[in-house]
Amino acid sequence: MQGKTALITGGSRRVGAAISRRLHAAGANLMIHYRSAVQEARALQAELTAIRPDSVTLIQADLHETDGLPNLVHTTLERYGRLDVLVQNASSFYATPIGSISEHDWFDLIGTNLKAPLFLAQAAAAELRHRQGCIVHITDIHAERPMKEHVVYSIAKAGLVGLTRSLARELGPEVRVNAVAPGPILWPEGESALDEVSRQRIISHTIVKHIGHPEDIAEAVLYLIRAGFVTGQVINVDGGRSIKL
């Protein structure tokens, strides 16, 4: 990826940070988007630019603001002169059991996980076509097998899988579009945090009997960027959980 540029949404922490580090190690310049994790974003920028100066730029944006999404692309082009890879990693995640779902939940989860990826891909399409580039979406194994009490999230990720395949047809042959579907990689934080019993139950449903690491997702993303004959596909990185549910 020497000389190429990647725009990564939600690229400053957790899985997004692992993707940023892996693509940077492969030689890419990075435009790392964040919403509120400014300290993590600055720390990651400092870490990576210490390795290769002027190779990482940060951009803050609320992905719900659709009118502002083209600015992520324009800023990338102004800074690096090109955009070769769009990694759509940013995501909202929390439970929405039937009986408690609000319209805010719908707009938030659908907006972050589906609406923003569509409109950002649309904004990037011309430049990605010009560069024979690619898009990689981070979906979820629960797009295919919905998670109980996470109705809206599961719908949104299912839509993102559909968007992956639709964009592969719309933007091909110039642009390849694929997705990585993580299984148990990092445990949820905050109100969605799981107790130890729940964690062990999830681990027991994998074939490898342990959770994965963010680097596993990053390696899959890099593979899809390099895989010139792969488009419209979803790779499950889940320790076999999707075939054991």
pLDDT grade for 116, boundaries at 50, 70 and 90? very high
In the sheet that holds 29-34, the strands lie side by side as 56-60, 29-34, 5-9, 85-88, 134-138, 176-182, 234-237
> With 60 as the cut, is the pLDDT of residue 169 above it?
yes
Which tops the pLDDT comparison, 176 or 141? 176
Q: How many CB atoms lie within 10 A of CB 56?
A: 22
> With 90 as the cut, is the pLDDT of residue 197 above it?
no
For residue 52, what pLDDT is reported?
97
pLDDT in tens, 16-58: 999 999 999 999 999 999 999 999 999 999 999 999 999 999 9
For residue 60, what pLDDT is reported?
97
Mapped onto helix, strand or coil, the DSSP state of residue 23 is helix
β-strand partners of 87: 8, 136
Q: How many domains, in total, are found in the chain?
A: 1
Q: What is the mean pLDDT of residues 169-177?
A: 98
Mapped onto helix, strand or coil, the DSSP state of residue 64 is coil
Q: What is the mean pLDDT of residues 167-177?
A: 98
**pLDDT cut 90: percent of the chain above it:** 81
Q: What is the mean pLDDT of residues 116-136?
A: 98
Residue type at 211 in one-letter notation? I
For residue 191, what pLDDT is reported?
60
Three-point CA angle 75, 79, 82, nearest 5°:
85
Residues making up the chain, counted from first to last: 245
Domain span at residue 224?
Answer: 5-243
Task: Show which residues are catalytic.
Answer: 153
**Letter string b/e over residues 57-78, b meaning 16 or more CB atoms within 10 A of that residue's CB:** bbbebebeebeebeebbebbbe
Which tops the pLDDT comparison, 245 or 68? 68
> With 90 as the cut, is the pLDDT of residue 79 above it?
yes
Q: How many CA atoms lie within 13 A of 101 on its CB side?
A: 14
User: In the predicted model, what is the mean pLDDT of the chain?
Assistant: 93
- Label residue 39 exposed, middle or buried (CB < 10 Å: 0-12, 13-18, 19+): exposed
Q: How many CB atoms lie within 10 A of CB 116?
A: 22
β-strand partners of 178: 136
Among 195, 164, 16, which residue's Cα sits nearest to residue 91? 16
